[in-house]
Structure 1
Amino acid sequence: MSRMPVFNSPFLIGFDDIERALDQVAKATSDGYPPYNIERLTRTEDQPERLRITLAVAGFTQDQLEITVEERQLVIRGRQQDDKTRQFLHRGIAARQFQRAFLLAEGMQVLGADLVNGLLSVDLVRPEPQRIIKKIDIAVRD
């Protein structure tokens, strides 16, 4: 059975990208690791309103983390290697790898990232678009 497109109204022109983005988010699977928060930070005198994604990455160093923007996706990867020289009597903390991807809206920009006390924070901002009104001339043809 085929799925009916959400944006098939004749009044929604050029929204194909949104439908593809929704499909992409629906297909994304995640094991819940690492846990994360997303919060809105209000505008201050020296900072615009922004979003902050915070991931719990205890045990990862700065060198083991990578943040990239790939085709409108914020991708955060963590890679740890097993230390073969260590002998564990009990191993409850595994060396893990992870990848978290967040689909970004058009115009979103990454301001920066911080790693403090095992929490990786990534700040994002969407610059306010200028309101543009453009008059379209009407050509008269006989």
Structure 2
Amino acid sequence: MRTIDLSPLHRFAVGFDHMQRQLDTLSRLDETTQSYPPYNIEARSENDYRISLAVAGFDAGDLDVTVKESTLVVSGRQDHPEAEVKYLHRGIAGRTFERRFELADHIKVVAADLANGLLHIDLKREVPEEMKPRKIEITAKPGGNVQKSIENKAA
């Protein structure tokens, strides 16, 4: 397995340990276990997103949506007794699954709903006011002294 060492960047920047953890997580993904259920990710506006997962055969009680730190975890487990059903053909997968999504900073899960076999999870980017860009005005005083004032600018 190949690892990426970002330690030389620590001399110039702060917070890249989080990026290294995400790269390590991505390198461990096995595509065969990550193919079910299929999903879409939509950008509905500049700050609104939607993840839609195809979960045919699952009820709302069979699904679990959890956010821990910056990871969204969607899991499903059907507790229906398999012994009672005799299939002539089984083409609808009802297997247990767990799907993980790494969320960027300031992304919040605002809603989840199940309709027509699709689980929709709505996300919103909410940047705190102190993190938004702000303009710093520079004024010059006679004699070479410089005075700076800070002004918040709503994005």
* Same topology, TM > 0.5: yes
C-alpha RMSD of the superposition: 2.5
- State the SS of the aligned residue for 1:58: coil
Considering only CA atoms, is the larger Rg found in Structure 1 or Structure 2? 2
Q: Give structure 2 stretches of 5+ with no counterpart.
A: 135-155
The answer for unaligned runs of 5 or more in structure 1 is 44-48, 134-142
The 1:128–1:61 alpha-carbon spacing in structure 2 relative to 1, beyond 3 Å, is: same
- In 2: Cα distance, 1:39 partner to 1:7 partner: 34
Matched residue type, 1:39:
E
Q: What CA distance in whole angstroms lies between the structure 2 residues aligned with 1:61 and 1:38? A: 21
Deviation at 1:132, TM superposition (A): 6.8
- Please state which structure has a larger fraction of its residues in helix: 2
TM-score normalised by the chain length of structure 1? 0.77
Q: Could you list the per-position Cα deviations for residues 43-88 of structure 1 after superposition, in whole angstroms to 9, with x for gaps in the alignment? A: 6xxxxx3111110111111111110112321000011134322233
**1:7/1:53 CA distance change after superposition, 3 Å:** farther
1:5 counterpart = 2:17: no
Q: 1:62 is matched with which residue: 60, 63, 66?
A: 60
Q: TM-score, normalised by structure 2?
A: 0.71
Query: Which letter maps to 2:103?
Result: L
- Structure 1 ranges of 4+ moved more than 4 A: 1-4
Measured at CA, do residues 71 and 84 of structure 1 come closer, stay the same or move farther in structure 2, by a change above 3 Å? same
* 1:119 is aligned to 2:122: no
**Pairs aligned (count):** 129
Shift of 1:129: 3.2
Q: Which residue of 2 aligns with 1:23?
A: 24
Q: State the shift of 1:3 in Å.
A: 4.2
Structure 1 vs Structure 2: percent identity of aligned residues?
44
2:108 is matched with which residue?
A: 109
**For the structure 1 residues 93 and 14, does the alpha-carbon distance in structure 2 shift closer, same or farther, using more than 3 Å as the test?**
closer
Change (3 A) 1:3 1:84: closer
Report the equivalent of 1:138. Answer: none
**One-letter code aligned to 1:19:** Q
Q: Cα offset for 1:94?
A: 4.4
After superposition, the C-alpha distances for 1:118-138 in whole angstroms (9 at most, x for unaligned) are: 0111011111232377xxxxx
- 1:53 is matched with 51
